[in-house]
Amino acid sequence: DQQVKQNSPSLSVQEGRISILNCDYTNSMFDYFLWYKKYPAEGPTFLISISSIKDKNEDGRFTVFLNKSAKHLSLHIVPSQPGDSAVYFCATLQGGSEKLVFGKGTKLTVNP
Amino acid sequence: DGGITQSPKYLFRKEGQNVTLSCEQNLNHDAMYWYRQDPGQGLRLIYYSQIVNDFQKGDIAEGYSVSREKKESFPLTVTSAQKNPTAFYLCASSIYRHYNSPLHFGNGTRLTVT
């Protein structure tokens, strides 16, 4: 059973608009959440993270929101740029564990 | 430049042969990891090692083996016992604990077994 779900396999947005990528998790013990970005034939690169003591973390154009009661997090990219086109993975970590649990990813396409 | 090097980028093997994927890091990270990615799937953890000469099974360790004789190196052997070895393999490293220390990934090795 998937512990981390990214229900949208793909998302397409226009350049300059907002991109919203969503992630749901099932285990309330998860307390650290990360987003990774992956281009084809490359390894993922870390984008932004948030711990469960916060509900928002911002880094430039990227903001992650965490709703613990709904077990939901989202990544907002504003404004979206064509270079943001990639697969985005959310990942979660339970306190004391070394095992990141990844979602299946959402492929974002930003059209010029 | 510090980073993680995986070699080769593409690897082809016949069914029934063992194959070893290389992973080297010069980030001075304690922990190293092997993940597997299949089309439309997330990354699944095969093995991880937090210190030299010690490693633990991940979620899909069957048919794989690893060693950690040096801090910089964490090779993965895909054995003939692995039922579906064709996949994209990613090596990663981090400072000992994940918190405030995200994984750094290599660029992967695509293994094709026919």
Residue B63 — left, alpha, or beta (φ > 0 → left; ψ -120 to 50 → alpha)?
left
When scoring A100, A102, A106, A107 by the number of chain B Cβ atoms within 10 A, the one with the most, hence best to mutate, is A100
Cα–Cα nearest to A19, from A63, A80, A66, A74: A80
Q: Residue A9: list chain B partners with CB under 8 A.
A: 40
Per-residue pLDDT band at A100 (split at 50, 70, 90):
confident
Instruction: Give the pLDDT confidence of B30-71 residue by residue, as tens digits.
Output: 999 999 999 888 899 999 998 999 999 999 999 999 999 999
Give the per-residue pLDDT at B76.
Answer: 97
Please give the Cα distance from B95 to B101 (Å, whole number): 6
Q: How far is B106 from chain A (nearest CA, A)?
A: 5
| pLDDT score of B96 more than 80 | no
Share of chain A above pLDDT 70, in %: 97
Judged by a CB distance cut-off of 8 A, whether residue B2 touches chain A is no
Q: Which of B45, B99, B108 sits opposite A99 (nearest CB)?
A: B45
Per-residue pLDDT band at B102 (split at 50, 70, 90):
confident
DSSP-assigned states of every residue in A24-59 = EE--TTEEEEEEEEE-TTS--EEEEEEETT-SEEEE
Cα–Cα nearest to B41, from B79, B94, B7, B84: B84
Cα–Cα nearest to B82, from B2, B13, B6, B4: B13
Instruction: Give the pLDDT confidence of B71-95 residue by residue, as tens digits.
Output: 999 999 999 889 899 999 999 998 8
Beta carbons of B98 and A45 less than 8 Å apart: no
| Strand B87-94 with B109-113, pairing | antiparallel
| pLDDT score of A62 more than 70 | yes
CA angle in degrees (0–180, nearest 5) for B3-B69-B57: 85
- Note whether B12 and B112 are within 8 A (CB): yes
Please give the Cα distance from A7 to A21 (Å, whole number): 9
Mean local confidence (pLDDT), A73-101: 90
Q: Which of A45, A46, A103 sits opposite B42 (nearest CB)?
A: A103
Beta carbons of B48 and A102 less than 8 Å apart: no
